[in-house]
Structure 1
Amino acid sequence: MPSSCLTAAALSRAYAAGAADPVAIAEAALSKALAAPTVFLTTTPERARSEAAASARRWREGRPLSALDGVPVAWKDLFDVAGTVTTAGSAVFAAHPPARDDALLVAAGTRAGMVCIGKTGLSEFAYSGLGLNPHFGTATNPALEGGRRAPGGSSSGAAIAVATGIVPIAVGTDTGGSIRVPSAFNGLTGYRASGARYSREGMVALSATLDTCGPLAANVSDCIAFDAAIRAIQPPSATDASAFAGTRFIVDPNLFERYAVTPAVGENFERFVARLEEAGAVVERKPLAVLAAVSDLVRNQGWLGGLEAFAVHRALLDSPDATRIDPRVRARLEANRSVPAERIGLLIARRAELISAFARETAGATLVMPTVAHVAPLLGPLDADPELFARVNLQTLAMTMLGSFLDTPAVAMPSGIDADGLSTSVQIMRPQGDDDALLRIAAALETKGL
């Protein structure tokens, strides 16, 4: 966890004890957000101040709406926030009228008392795993070689907002890895929820089949607190670390060569697995046929998310405004133009089969694997060379795309650092819809200091 990170749990305890004031916390967050225009594309000062003042009154009266009442939150600029333009990181969309209503997930956050600070930057249309944006500027983390490393995407601003201590929780979206990749690059925890867990109404779509969302935070505890607050349920009780013994994990040894996992990532992954075993977990190393099948399907038939993204943006691509799209994003979208439209239906049908196969093959165990095969790459060369950008982007997303295709709930969490101090990450994954079990296991890992 970056040292600058503020945790939602610590804020909640401070509010309850009268040791912190939601108004002062909101003002500090707004001040930092306004000073970071590539991180926050829009700030909502009037709303934040009003929400913070109401929260302060509730805490004084001992009636908070949730454990996260008064906690500052940021929303990726794919979510509608009433009175603001939802840009999706696009210069074209920046001319759209302001949203009339909050997205349903934003509204749920408001009902839980969270304080909306504003909306964060992203790759255009959320269609890149590296986080670059030529229209609004690329958010960078000064702790990563003075901002010389790519932030990860597409939820780049969300990650930097948390990593630099502006807000303790930022909400991103994930179609192929857009929560998990920036979490990995910036030493954060990111939770990709199963597709059906949270409403996507009022969220700009990229892929109707693969889109989902979730929080980026300093730790698992804050992700779980967000999940409980958004769903208006009581947070789970503290995890009993002793219950972790015997928990089953699977490691697929074929992934490391298939995705060219770098030595630093691989070594930190093995240390993480060793700590699992020392803590009493049972780790089975075996190839999973379903993961090989997904890899082959994507290679031979194309990426479902790309095909659906092209369909979403085809009218724009066919218009004069196409020239205003980031050329790298436009090229990726256009690569899907020649694919027969019926391919989408084929991939959706095959996906359903493979989702079932994953549940059968893991048989109650949790899959653990690296989140990204490498650490955050240098930003300058990616910005200067479109071919390098395209190649590194695919390498960056390759291991997270597996879970996206299979709709696995996934938690990405730090596994260590390399010799240059850059973060590495692991992700744990369970079958579609098994989010509660996944979060319990993630909490147990955190409790045990893994």
Structure 2
Amino acid sequence: MTHITETIDQLNARLARREITREALVAKALEEATGKAAKSVFTKLYPEAAMAAARSADAAQAAGVSLPALAGLPVSIKDLYGVAGETTMSGSIVCEGEPVQPVDSVAVARLRASGSAIIGKTNMTEFAFSGVGINPHYGTPVNPTDTKVARIPGGSSSGAGVSVALGLAVAGLGSDTGGSIRIPAAVHGLVGFKSTQSRVPLTGALELSRSLDTVCAMTRSVQDCLTVDAVLSGAMLRVRRRPLAGMRFAVPQTVVLDAMEPAVAKAFARTLSTLSAAGALIVDIPLAELAEIPKINAPGGLSPIEAYAEHHARLAKASDKFDHRVAQRIMLGSSVTAQQYIALLDGRRDWIARVEKAIESYDAVLCPTIPIIAPEIAALEASDEAFFKANGLLLRNTFAFNFLDGCSFSVPCHQGDELPMGLMISSVNGDDARLASVALAVESTLGR
């Protein structure tokens, strides 16, 4: 049973009416965090600190103090964020024994300053390097949206997604390098917001790819994502709410619609029809530049190159302690020369300029967040071939907008008994506020 089902605003309204207390919310979340449904979701819990934050906020409210939106509410943090006095493990075992962090990472420090009740660190793909969410060291959190089949939680922010889906947290702090917020959001029926990378400092987070890593979160609504983003970035986006009617949406016909499973194709077509009926203009565009990404991103790939730079010493010291699938991907960057790396960066810069020009007349680009339903865990654990095939499909659409250095939302687009699916709403670098207005309008039109 899901604990918290309301949005942050709805919870705060109930708190203001004194129907509930933050202490009770956090106590229940901590209790359920140790239950069967939450197995492998957390790598560490902070019961004393979380309860103290909740009680402090309750006491402040009782004294008539006006509180920030997240004050005393349960929030989870991904295992790659530094916490003072702890070694950052990042879903691995190879980091054991490394120096502890002297201070909190910027993201964690800002959540603490907001009064958030940080209930624990969440499990993740080792070193954030997969969109699947499987972890052989700490176990794999099970996606709770299907009670009959154990399906993947999506990655790499796997535990973050499950913590919010189970209602143990109002927000899951994660990261997004190639889709690691939007993929878990899509497979859990949540909202994920990958902001422009430069919006939130990466300081204190164990990196995968410094060119792509983005500090961001997933929640139950677009507005909740904006509330959390304001804390993480230190500046609320100036979002002007707009009606959907008259908005122009581009739907690329290259790559992002390939290999869609029938259920996803059906949901995506239905979603476009709903938006069109509400007055949006849907325009199919080629955006053939999307087909260039594999060539520009070779050899090795931007993430493997930069991940190898970060983790080469760990690999040399204890490669046998790595998830072999993660080590295999990191090693793709081992033989790339400086000349090839610079050529990749130059090629990406040129590509970004051309794509920005191609989509500049549209309010947003729409496509499925992922083209498949969440696969079963067992099938991907059993076969490297099945794992890498699924991983490629999971990351394909989302990564395009990381490569663009853009901003992107995933909002739910499933109905009734359908398994969760996401609609991805994306734009260019720095367009976060305008894109947020689009996401709010889309969410409202879809009845979320």
Q: TM-score, normalised by structure 1?
A: 0.93
Q: Does 1:279 pair with 2:281?
A: no
2:311 alignment partner, one of 310, 313, 322: 313
Residue 173 of structure 2 aligns to a residue whose secondary structure is: strand
Counterpart in the other structure of 2:395: 397
Call closer, same or farther: CA 1:94–1:345 in 2, change over 3 Å.
same
Deviation of 1:351 (Å): 1.7
2:419 alignment partner, one of 404, 419, 422: 422
Counterpart in the other structure of 2:22: 22
Counterpart in the other structure of 2:230: 228
Call closer, same or farther: CA 1:235–1:340 in 2, change over 3 Å.
closer
Task: Between 228-237 and 340-349, report the one with greater CA deviation.
Answer: 228-237
Counterpart in the other structure of 2:337: 340
The whole-number CA distance in structure 1 between the counterparts of 2:168 and 2:438 is: 28
| Deviation by residue 1:27-56 (Cα, 9 ceiling, x = unmatched) | 111112233351010111121122112211
Counterpart in the other structure of 1:58: 60
The whole-number CA distance in structure 2 between the counterparts of 1:211 and 1:143 is: 28
Deviation of 1:145 (Å): 4.0
Counterpart in the other structure of 1:432: 429
Deviation of 1:287 (Å): 0.7
- Kept after mapping to 2: 8 A contact 1:12/1:71: no
Deviation of 1:232 (Å): 4.4
- Kept after mapping to 2: 8 A contact 1:77/1:122: yes
The whole-number CA distance in structure 1 between the counterparts of 2:254 and 2:236 is: 40
Moved over 4 A (4+): 232-238
- Kept after mapping to 1: 8 A contact 2:301/2:332: no
Call closer, same or farther: CA 1:34–1:347 in 2, change over 3 Å.
same
Q: Does 1:447 pair with 2:444?
A: yes
Call closer, same or farther: CA 1:233–1:62 in 2, change over 3 Å.
farther
Q: Superposed, which structure 2 residues align to 1:102-117 within 5 Å?
A: 102-117=104-119
Residue 421 of structure 1 aligns to a residue whose secondary structure is: coil
- Kept after mapping to 2: 8 A contact 1:76/1:157: yes
Q: Superposed, which structure 2 residues align to 1:185-200 within 5 Å?
A: 185-200=187-202
Kindly tell me the number of residue pairs found equivalent between the two proteins.
443
Counterpart in the other structure of 2:214: 212
The code of the aligned residue for 1:393 comes to: N
The code of the aligned residue for 1:433 comes to: G
Call closer, same or farther: CA 1:95–1:437 in 2, change over 3 Å.
same
Call closer, same or farther: CA 1:373–1:449 in 2, change over 3 Å.
closer
The code of the aligned residue for 2:368 comes to: P
- Kept after mapping to 2: 8 A contact 1:225/1:235: no
Q: Which runs of 5+ in 2 are unaligned?
A: none
- Kept after mapping to 2: 8 A contact 1:91/1:324: yes
The whole-number CA distance in structure 1 between the counterparts of 2:237 and 2:72 is: 17
| Deviation by residue 1:220-268 (Cα, 9 ceiling, x = unmatched) | 121111122334456767835xx322111100123355x3122211121
Counterpart in the other structure of 1:329: 326
The code of the aligned residue for 1:7 comes to: T
- Kept after mapping to 2: 8 A contact 1:42/1:84: no
Counterpart in the other structure of 1:250: 250
Counterpart in the other structure of 1:293: 292
The whole-number CA distance in structure 1 between the counterparts of 2:391 and 2:170 is: 27
| Deviation by residue 1:342-391 (Cα, 9 ceiling, x = unmatched) | 32221122222222222211114110011111010111111111222122
Call closer, same or farther: CA 1:62–1:349 in 2, change over 3 Å.
farther
Call closer, same or farther: CA 1:306–1:59 in 2, change over 3 Å.
same
The whole-number CA distance in structure 1 between the counterparts of 2:419 and 2:7 is: 21
Deviation of 1:3 (Å): 9.2
The sequence identity of aligned pairs, in percent, is 35
Deviation of 1:422 (Å): 1.8
Call closer, same or farther: CA 1:237–1:406 in 2, change over 3 Å.
closer
Indicate the RMSD between aligned Cα atoms, in angstroms. Answer: 2.1
The code of the aligned residue for 1:443 comes to: L
Q: TM-score, normalised by structure 2?
A: 0.93
- Kept after mapping to 2: 8 A contact 1:130/1:152: yes
Q: Superposed, which structure 2 residues align to 1:325-404 within 5 Å?
A: 325-365=322-362, 366-404=364-402
Q: Which runs of 5+ in 1 are unaligned?
A: none
The whole-number CA distance in structure 1 between the counterparts of 2:256 and 2:402 is: 19
1:406 alignment partner, one of 398, 404, 407: 404
2:121 alignment partner, one of 112, 119, 122: 119
